[in-house]
Amino acid sequence: MAYPLSLILSLMLSMSPESGIVKLPRACLPEHYELEIDLSNSHDAIPEVKGNVQIRINCVADTNNLTVNWKQLFIAEDSVSITTFDDKKSKNLIKVSKVNYQPDRDFIVFTFDQTLKKGSKYVLDINFANILELQSTALYKSSYYDSTEESIISTVLTNLYPMNARMVFPCFDEPDLKATFNLSLIYSPFYNAISNLVYVEDRNKKHSSETSACRKFSSQSPIAPHQLAFSINNYGEMEETESHNLVIEGITNDHFEELATAVNYTAFLMERFNDVLGVEYPSEKLTLMTINGNSWEFSGGNGLLGVPNVINDEEHLSIHLARGLIRHILSSRLTLNSWTELWLVEGLAWYIGYEVLADKYPEASAQCWEVSRLDSKLTLQTNYSIVSSSLLNEIGLSAFCVFSDLASFIGKTSFIRGIKLLIDSSSKKEIDVETISNSFVNAFLQKRDLMEVFEKRSTNVEAPLKVLYDIPTYELIAKQLAGPNNVSTYDRIQLIQDALEFAWMGTVNYSVVLKLINYLRNETDYYSWQAALYHFDRIWNILGDDPRKNEYEKFLRMLVSPIYGKLKAWKEADKLSEKTRNLHSLLSIWACRLNLDNC
């Protein structure tokens, strides 16, 4: 079948329909950043960061204002300027008449006394400053004792993924707004500077009576701001190996054994990625550096990845590296249209990470039994929230569980083939998420004739389900469950779980199974309902915002409404037992999801 590629992309719609993220206006788009960041005071008691960014923009519409992302940065308003840009280097200064901060959107809006013209290019020049963070967000400082516990190791490093670049410098911090970069880092000459960009040159820079080091880097191709990564450190020890034309370099100051382990694991993982997906790393060199903690697992910067300075669990290290590497591979090939589609990258990072390490994690999907996906909407709900590692973990795990469901539905081999098609095709052209998602939903519904089944079941009420029986036996069980209930609770739960799973795998027709399920209209056992609703939640997530989901909702209302009404009446009469109280709580969630009266 030809739909696995569509299948993967459909998830992006179902995961982010109500995100509060507000996208930047698109009247002018970035082409190039000249970014200078002064970290020469980063080791002071109050580590101040100063910088300047010059953003060359191309206007695709007339406008008299320009909006960029900004968060918690001091802006030297008097120094903000915008000039015309052309190949002859001539400049025409345009006055900035107003600076408007919108912290609820992470926006800063510059208004000009002249109109920026469509088809013209300009350079926006901004000086900014901030205090270096101590938390592992954006640009931060990490300090810890070495193995002797006598000396302190101090590093400055970035964690800009997914939407923290705006906390480091004003920019167009959206995944599809890519530009070239020149990055200049100013720092103490006693330290070293590394970046995932290409090294250009070293020079000295005078600071009052002191001289600082200045190292310049440049991007070879356009990148989004979150894909930038760099560090200031005094690491000296190195380890190096090679895998599939990729040079894997490790640097550390005090944890050589841990670094060597990480380098070797990375080489092994790149072999596995090539075997499973036929993909290679997006650059010729990857630098691993030991850090205090795991935050750089979430680095979106191809070519630079952090590894823990203390390895207590090699299996945990392997999955940490696998996810980080897959993020780099995907970010070089996929251009998300907005941050609401981050779900796709995180889900694939988890799924592929477990798949290439299947011998170590054969039952990885078992953890999905404990994941509540009901109305969780694990996406980036606001434009101004700091995206923490814990939130990314939640998004990744939830996405992984739905990907696991989809893989079980169409078969793991087909699913992996779909991922390969996705990676190959997305590197050649932009993804039309909605069109491909709709094509998947068509294939999903057609594979089991689901829509026709749900349309019939929502208007023709009958009854129930179990182990792999023939159709006449299923019909007998359905009649038995629909009548006086003399089937034990345990057997009812087992019937529901088995029959729904067989239907999911395509062994039993859904039309047969839904006759069994109908008995739930009178079921008061919590675990029977939990088993059924877990399955229906999987289908709910896959259908996303497709308009044909209405028939599915009708079916679920028909199923849930009678027992929910009965439990609601019991609650009002204070007749709920402990067992039925739990069921009432579960069905209340679905009642609200289905817009039932008095949910």
> In CATH, what number is assigned to the domain containing residue 470?
1.25.50.20
What pLDDT does residue 421 have? 73
> What integer is the mean pLDDT of 165-169?
95
What pLDDT does residue 234 have? 87
Ranked by mean pLDDT, which of 191-195, 363-367, 575-579, 582-586 comes out on top? 191-195
My answer on whether 210 and 304 are in the same domain is: no
Residue 238 has pLDDT above 70, yes or no: yes
Contact criterion met (CB below 8 Å) for 406 and 189: no
Contact criterion met (CB below 8 Å) for 325 and 273: yes
| 598 belongs to a structural domain | no
What pLDDT does residue 65 have? 96
Minimum mean pLDDT range among 12-16, 415-419, 514-518, 537-541: 12-16
> What integer is the mean pLDDT of 89-105?
88
Q: Could you tell me the pLDDT band of residue 179, with boundaries at 50, 70 and 90?
A: very high
Residue 39 has pLDDT above 80, yes or no: yes
> What integer is the mean pLDDT of 181-193?
95
Span 435-471, pLDDT tens digits: 445 544 554 555 545 445 444 444 443 333 334 455 5
My answer on whether 37 and 81 are in the same domain is: yes
Q: Could you tell me the pLDDT band of residue 383, with boundaries at 50, 70 and 90?
A: very low
Out of 192, 213, 232, a domain closes at 232
Residue 19 has pLDDT above 70, yes or no: no
Nearest Cα neighbor of 571 from 582, 555, 561, 560 is: 582
My answer on whether 498 and 387 are in the same domain is: no
Span 124-151, pLDDT tens digits: 999 999 988 766 678 888 877 776 777 7
**Cα-atom radius of gyration of the chain, to the nearest Å?**
28
| 491 belongs to a structural domain | yes
My answer on whether 328 and 399 are in the same domain is: no
Q: What is the DSSP letter of 62?
A: -
Strand partners, 133: 140
The CATH number of whichever domain residue 168 belongs to comes to 2.60.40.1730
| 500 belongs to a structural domain | yes
Domain residues for the domain of 484 are 448-593
Out of 301, 333, 365, a domain closes at 333
Dump the DSSP string for 345-410: HHHHHHHHHHHHTTTT-TTGGGGGGG---TT---S---TT----HHHHHHHHHHHHHHHHHHHHHH
pTM, to two decimals: 0.76
My answer on whether 249 and 359 are in the same domain is: no
My answer on whether 35 and 50 are in the same domain is: yes
Q: Give me the number of domains the chain comprises.
A: 4
Strand partners, 54: 34, 125
My answer on whether 8 and 82 are in the same domain is: no
Ranked by mean pLDDT, which of 59-73, 298-312, 531-545 comes out on top? 59-73
Identify each DSSP E strand in 219-344 by its residue range.
230-233, 237-243, 246-252, 285-291, 304-308
My answer on whether 295 and 407 are in the same domain is: no
Tokens of residue 138, six digits: 């954006």
Q: Could you tell me the pLDDT band of residue 539, with boundaries at 50, 70 and 90?
A: confident
- Distances in Å between the Cα of 514 and the Cα atoms of 20, 348, 495, 517, 529 are 37, 32, 12, 5, 14
Tokens of residue 240, six digits: 């190096």
| 599 belongs to a structural domain | no
Higher pLDDT, 380 or 326: 326
My answer on whether 464 and 578 are in the same domain is: yes
Cα 99 to chain centroid, rounded: 32
- Distances in Å between the Cα of 294 and the Cα atoms of 193, 321, 421 are 20, 10, 31
My answer on whether 319 and 355 are in the same domain is: no
Minimum mean pLDDT range among 228-232, 312-316, 444-448: 444-448
| 137 belongs to a structural domain | yes
At 525 the three-state DSSP class reads coil
At 52 the three-state DSSP class reads strand
| 286 belongs to a structural domain | yes
> What integer is the mean pLDDT of 259-279?
89
| 143 belongs to a structural domain | yes
The CATH number of whichever domain residue 248 belongs to comes to 1.10.390.10
My answer on whether 574 and 427 are in the same domain is: no
My answer on whether 254 and 294 are in the same domain is: yes
Residue 13 has pLDDT above 60, yes or no: no
Phi, psi for 364 (deg, rounded to 5): -60, -35
| 300 belongs to a structural domain | yes
Out of 232, 259, 284, a domain closes at 232
